[in-house]
A and B are shown apart, each in its own frame.
Chain A
Amino acid sequence: MHFAQGLKMAFKSIRSNKLRSILTMLGVIIGVGSVIALVGIGQGTSKQIEEQVQSLGTNLLTVNILGRGVTSTLAYEEAVQFAGIEGVEYAAPYNSNNATLKYGTAGAGVNVIGTNADYFPLRGYELAAGRFITQIDLDFHQKVAVLGSATAEELFGSENPVGEYVRINGVRYKVVGLLAEKGSSALGSNDELAVIPLTTAERMFRSKGVRSVYIQAESMDALDAVQAEVEARLAKIFRNGDDAYRVFNQADMLETAASVSGTLSLALGGIAGISLLVGGIGIMNIMLVSVTERTREIGIRKAIGAKKRDILMQFLIESVTISALGGLLGVGLGLAAGRAVSSLVKIDVVHSADMIALSMGFSILIGVVFGMYPANKAANLKPIDALRFE
């Protein structure tokens, strides 16, 4: 018997039991579909994070104060001194807090960032109207705010907010600037925020000191020296407290992002493996039922000259066809689900051909592995016993 003939037989058998075949495939369809969709989302997200991290500039250091140990905070005055380190272009200490902004009856819950003037060029913000926060605002604890474009739109609609007053947690702030739209990233929207002077924020949120500092070096080459100096200074400030702060550079962040997405992929792979295993067991179950049901057919085929191998191939091709078809439908489902998710949640979904090929290959393998036992059972039936079977 030829392979093409076996394929024809398999399709005939699958077609004549449509509902059952589809139910049998369902395990593989869902397994493969979820893998394709989830891995697509995972890869899309990590690609976005990577782009985001790179868009911050490759010569950026981030200092996070974790608040452990005897000395738990970094004073603003200490933080701005990082700007004086040789090779540093900008140093922007910042705190961020969630707060409610109100303008008239309109309100919005946004991220309020307390920082200094260096923050804007460092993060790549541009002005749409008004001005940024300046050093004088910090020195005099001015209650002024610069709004992100999305926040401004939510509160003011299409009006120009510059010169108006908003209430941040009930305190009046003058809007002095409006940021140009920057778009969103995997870390969230860049336009839903309000920026106020750091010193004002310390009072307003009753938290002395800064929790994070962005430091941008003048060049990639200067980064290592800058990092060493920053770490030396931090070590002096936080005596016996290595745990109290952490300094990330760009490479560290990319590495972290990669390890996160690696872990994510591994977890997804595990889920995929389990669901495909379940799907495979489903296939084996149905194939066993099918062999019993078709005992007589097997007997007839053997009586008129089918060899063991013919029967084995027939049932094996059938189970592989079911699993491969399930895999194919699963790929379709996964691509569709990925597309639906990306259009609903504005997440990039990246499908790799490798992943699709791998899950197709895996579903075919499932068909072979779980089809082998039933097929072998069918092939080993004795023709006279099988013919007598009612």
Chain B
Amino acid sequence: MDWSALRLSLALAVITAVVMLPVAVWVGRALAWGRFRGKAAVEALVALPLVLPPTVLGYYLLVAFAPSSPLGQFYQSLVGTTLAFSFEGLVVASLIANVPFAIQPVQRGFEAIPSEVREAAWLSGMSSWRALWNIELPLAWPALLTALVLTFAHTLGEFGVVLMVGGNIPDETRTVAIAIYDRVQAFDDRAAGIMAATLLALSFASISVVYWVDRAARRRRG
């Protein structure tokens, strides 16, 4: 068992999920209720990572991270290192790869709240911010939890983007998914089997939480 890879995977998954959540609330809410020009295009862009081969996404990120690109130059001038083949680069790639997994459930969650309920909150004197805290989030929390868990589980299992952007550097970019591949290449079936079983168990447990919460929320609403 490659403990360093597991630690790295968990760290990446937790950071991605936690950073994505507020973004998902902001964008998901805007997509649920906002009426603006180009909304369909934004929605399509949000869904894009679902259908794009991870290697394609990884390739473009690698191009964007390169020291010759504006983003790569900017990052290098700021931090002194490159984003490509670093943990920070993995985080950025992982955030982008998880956009649909985080935003879509949250958008559906907000859409399920009747607009009259929000209006009733305003007429009760609540500011938009207060209505979000007191009314909308308590009603949309199962969706938020779903987004959090899906993002976490999807990050644990991500392979293509990680390999493209991060490579296979121990303690820096070698996640469990990469480590499994690495062990299989080295004919170390036992280590690969243990890590595969670990990922399977973690993923199954996370996805089970989503379904369990969904059922519980449905029952509560009657």
Check if A and B associate.
Answer: no
A residues whose Cβ falls under 8 Å from a Cβ of B: none
